[in-house]
Amino acid sequence: MAEVKVSGRKKRVLQYVNNKTNKKYQLIVGKRGGISYKSPGSKTRRYMRSACKKTKCSSTFWKEVARLTKKKN
C-alpha cells in the first residue's frame, strides 16, 4: 500500500508500506512520473507504479505524484 505521510512543516513524503513484512520505504518520483524505491543494500531500484495502481491509493497520493512530476520538469 502506498500513502502520503506529512513530516515536518508542509513536507509530504510518499511511502510504500509492506503490510506483510511491516516495512516502510520512501518512494521517489521520476521526471516522467515513474514511482520507485531503493531498499538498503540493493544496487537497483524497484519500480512501483503498476503496484500502486493495483492497490487502492488515495487521490491525494496521485495528486502528490503529479505535483512532484511537474516540479521536476
Contact 67, 35 (CB under 8 A): no
- Tell me: the pLDDT tens digits for 1-13? 676 776 666 678 8
Longest dimension (CA), the chain: 35
Contact 15, 24 (CB under 8 A): yes
| CA atoms of 37 and 47, how far apart (whole Å) | 7
Ordered mean pLDDT values, 10 residues apiece, the chain (73 residues)? 69 83 87 88 90 84 89 85
| CA atoms of 15 and 24, how far apart (whole Å) | 6
Contact 62, 41 (CB under 8 A): no
Q: Which three cell numbers stand for residue 7?
A: 513530516
